[in-house]
């Protein structure tokens, strides 16, 4: 059985993952509206990943005999500016999520909750990857600057996300 302190923290993390998902979907909608279909595709897949993270924690709470309680989600902005600004926000968001996961892990240690520690190790590795990916795209966007042709080439590259393994 899961302790109430850990259950509450996991429920808060479920909300944080859904919030992330919602922000990425809003970013995707913004990119669709400015004809950056590749960026929109990449962000939509990121939305799906965040939904999967939320549901992974949702299932974990249930498996442990805890109670999932869903919370109201934050309203995301409608516009996000240029791709460079979007990816600054993506990286910032991932760094924020990393901080939350680390705090949650520290709580699981404090509460001697070993199963939660094992579950969170997957998330810790995932965050390393997510920060790296967002950081790499951000660096590329800094190099591209306002050069339209290069931006469209990046848009084409990002449109291929999810096709790599097929
Ligand atoms: Fe679920 Fe990208 O953090």
pTM > 0.85? yes
- The angle at the Cα of 139, spanning 80 to 161, to the nearest 5 degrees, equals 70
Of 70, 89, 94, 64, nearest in space to 79 by CA = 89
Cβ of 97 closer than 6 Å to ligand 1, yes or no, is yes
Which CATH superfamily, name and number, covers 4-165?
Ferritin, core subunit, four-helix bundle (1.20.1260.10)
Helices of type H across 36-113: 37-63, 83-110
Q: Which residues contact 132 (CB under 8 A, 6 or more apart)?
A: none
- Whole-number Å distance between alpha carbons of 31 and 35: 6
CA of 149 to the centre of ligand 1 (A): 31
DSSP string, 102-155: HHHHHHHHHTT-HHHHHHHHHHHHHHHHHHHHHHHHHHHHHHHTT-HHHHHHHH
Cβ of 94 closer than 6 Å to ligand 1, yes or no, is yes
Cβ of 15 closer than 6 Å to ligand 1, yes or no, is no
Counting from 1 in the atom list of ligand 1, the atom nearest the Cα of 123 is 1
CA of 154 to the centre of ligand 1 (A): 23
What residue segments make up the domains of the chain, in order of their start? 4-165
62-92 in b/e burial notation, b at 16+ Cβ within 10 A? eebebeeeeeeeeebeeebeebbebbbbbbe
pLDDT values of the chain reduced to their tens digit, one per residue, 166 residues? 899 999 999 999 999 999 999 999 999 999 999 999 999 999 999 999 999 999 999 999 999 999 999 999 999 999 999 999 999 999 999 999 999 999 999 999 999 999 999 999 999 999 999 999 999 999 999 999 878 899 999 999 999 987 765 4
Cβ of 19 closer than 6 Å to ligand 1, yes or no, is no
- Whole-number Å distance between alpha carbons of 164 and 109: 37
Cβ of 119 closer than 6 Å to ligand 1, yes or no, is no
Counting from 1 in the atom list of ligand 1, the atom nearest the Cα of 17 is 1
Closest protein CA for atom 1 of ligand 1: 50
- Whole-number Å distance between alpha carbons of 53 and 130: 12
Q: Is 129 exposed, middle or buried (0-12, 13-18, 19+ CB in 10 A)?
A: exposed
Report the run of H or E that residue 30 belongs to, with start and end: helix 4-33
Counting from 1 in the atom list of ligand 1, the atom nearest the Cα of 98 is 3
Cβ of 50 closer than 6 Å to ligand 1, yes or no, is yes
Of 21, 88, 9, nearest in space to 50 by CA = 21
């Amino acid at each position: 059985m899961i302790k109430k302190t850990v259950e509450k923290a996991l429920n808060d993390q479920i909300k944080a993952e859904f919030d992330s998902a919602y922000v990425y979907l809003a970013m995707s909608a913004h990119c669709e509206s400015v004809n950056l279909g590749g960026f929109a595709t990449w962000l939509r897949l990121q939305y799906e990943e965040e939904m999967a993270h939320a549901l992974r924690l949702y299932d974990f709470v249930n498996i442990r005999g805890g109670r999932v309680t869903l919370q109201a989600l934050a309203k995301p902005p409608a516009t996000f500016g240029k791709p460079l600004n979007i990816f600054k926000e993506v990286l910032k968001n991932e760094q924020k999520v990393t901080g939350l996961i680390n705090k949650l892990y520290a709580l699981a240690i404090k509460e001697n909750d070993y199963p939660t520690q094992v579950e969170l190790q997957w998330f810790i590795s995932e965050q390393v990857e997510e920060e790296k990916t967002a950081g790499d795209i951000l660096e590329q966007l800094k190099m591209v600057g306002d050069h339209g042709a290069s931006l469209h080439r990046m848009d084409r590259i990002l449109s291929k996300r999810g096709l790599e393994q097929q």
